[in-house]
Structure 1
Amino acid sequence: MYLVTGATGNIGGKVLDRLHAAGHKVRALTRDPGRARLPAGVDVVAADLGDPATLPAALDGVRKVFLMSLGHNKATHDGNLVAAAEQAGVTQVVQLSTLGVEEVDEEHDTPLGRWHRQAEQALTGSSLGWTILRPNGFMTHALGWAPGIRDASVVRSPIADLPEALVAPEDIADVAVRALTSDGHEGAVYSLTGPEALTTREQVAVLGEVLGRELRFEQMTLEEHHAVLAARYSAQTADGVVKALRTVLESGDDFRGRVFPGIPQALGRPGRTFRQWATENAAAFA
């Protein structure tokens, strides 16, 4: 059986759907099963990565795990799951990390990178088989622009001219499922980006072409962006994300614009371009 954490989220939900559609036995870990809308036939268990006592039951009979968690507690939460998985006889964990871990220059180190680096170390230092996925920023960040596009044909972002080789969550999920269900991925670290780097202004232009309407870009301050994040996440998570953005913007580092080969290596095909992703998801902006 496969256990999927973050099963109601952007990546975990896609991993679960793919495993279930392929006929695998899948269990979804969620803190609130009553609110989870999951496919019929999926085993749903109430558990919390922050509460180790809830994890043994969730891992009973499980052989492989897709592990993802967010925010400043990531190292603790992932460590809890890893420890319980060792006791439960799990054979492999595929962990969602971030490309920021590879920014090892201490001058450019950020809280976000440290949280994920510590979470990776909890897994790689265990007795479990492991595969680590390090995606760049997600193309789905553009979905946050949808209300402004619908209301006023405007996109507001703190990042204007920084090239980013963003990755489609669908491709991340495809790599995760390949690593979980086929041989040859144990001990692998896949750095995942799309096949091109675009600035936010260029993304907005592409999205406007796909939607057939002229969109306007407005740059917001990092303080304004922090307020948006703080409304959705913890204050520490919002602080960490904004600090990482500030470091990148002030340093002029081009790391986020580099194209990495993880998707072709794992899947034997290139990742989606932003135009392909936007075309597939155009209805979300209508």
Structure 2
Amino acid sequence: MHPSSAHVAFDPIPAMGRWHHARERIVRGSGVPATFLRPGGFMTNALDWLPTIREGGYVLDPVGPGRHAPVDPADIAAVAALALTEDGHQGREYVLTGGELFTVAEQVRILSETIGRDLEVRETATPAEAVRSRFPHGAPPALADALTEGFALMRADTAGFRTDTVERLLGREPRAFRVWCARHADTFRGPESG
């Protein structure tokens, strides 16, 4: 059973989005000048694959055909630095994504090519297995429910969503996932590579 197969009623805004918006309202209410960065999935989420890659050369995929545009945290930091050091960003909201849309299988293929190791992609069979793919030691119930909801929404989004915000603000394309993989290849190869 895929995470989307479970009967899940979706609010117009997913749980994680509601949590973030609640914090934004607090900041807005404080009167402190702010710029809100709203990054999508991070490229560093691929580090969650390390246990299964090291254990058996595979990655658990909770979203199947779903596509997303992961963003390099270094690009998020660069946008934050810009917002903190230039005028004109106060009160703005920036949705940040990478420039490339991927399925998990496509990301795994790039990582596999980068580290020179065949990696298998295994779709998760249950919502609980999907949650364990991110939190192998368990997650609090509210977080587990939010992840299950998020994975189901991602699975259903086969077109994907990306913005040009990073490029527009920084004057360059967002960093590519392949480049991120190359920077972290030794981490994925493991201690024996060093």
> Is TM more than 0.5 here?
yes
| Aligned residue pair count | 178
Tell me the equivalent position of 2:39.
Answer: 135
Partner AA of 1:241 in structure 2: L
User: Does residue 269 of structure 1 match 2:172?
Assistant: yes
Q: Identity of paired residues, percent?
A: 38
1:234 aligns with 2:140: yes
User: Equivalent residue of 1:246, what SS?
Assistant: helix
Is the CA contact (8 Å cut-off) linking 1:222 and 1:246 kept in structure 2?
Answer: no
Mapped partners of 2:151, 2:110: distance in 1: 23
**Amino acid in the other structure paired with 1:177:** A
Contact 1:110 1:240 in 2 (8 A): yes
Which structure is higher in RCO with an 8 Å CA cutoff and minimum separation 6? Answer: 2
> Which has more strand, going by share of residues?
1
The residue type equivalent to 2:23 in the other structure is A
Superposed CA offset, 1:28-75 (max 9, x none): xxxxxxxxxxxxxxxxxxxxxxxxxxxxxxxxxxxxxxxxxxxxxxxx
**Aligned AA (1:195):** G
1:253–1:198 Cα change, 3 Å: closer
Matches within 5 A, 1:1-286: 108-220=12-124, 221-227=126-132, 229=135, 231=137, 233-249=139-155, 252-254=156-158, 257-286=160-189
Q: In the superposition, relative to structure 1, how do residues 120 and 242 fare at CA in structure 2: closer, same or farther (>3 Å)?
A: same
List runs of 5+ in structure 2 lacking aligned partners. Answer: 1-9, 190-194
Q: Deviations over 1:65-112 (max 9, x none)?
A: xxxxxxxxxxxxxxxxxxxxxxxxxxxxxxxxxxxxxxxxx8542211
Higher-Rg member (1/2): 1
- Distance in 2, matches of 1:244 and 1:150, equals 26
* Alpha-carbon distance in 2 for matches of 1:245, 1:149: 20
**Cα pair 1:131 1:188 within 8 Å, conserved:** yes
Give distance in 2, aligned partners of 1:209 and 1:147: 19
Per the normalisation by structure 1, the TM-score is 0.57
Matches of 2:153 and 2:101, distance apart in 1: 19
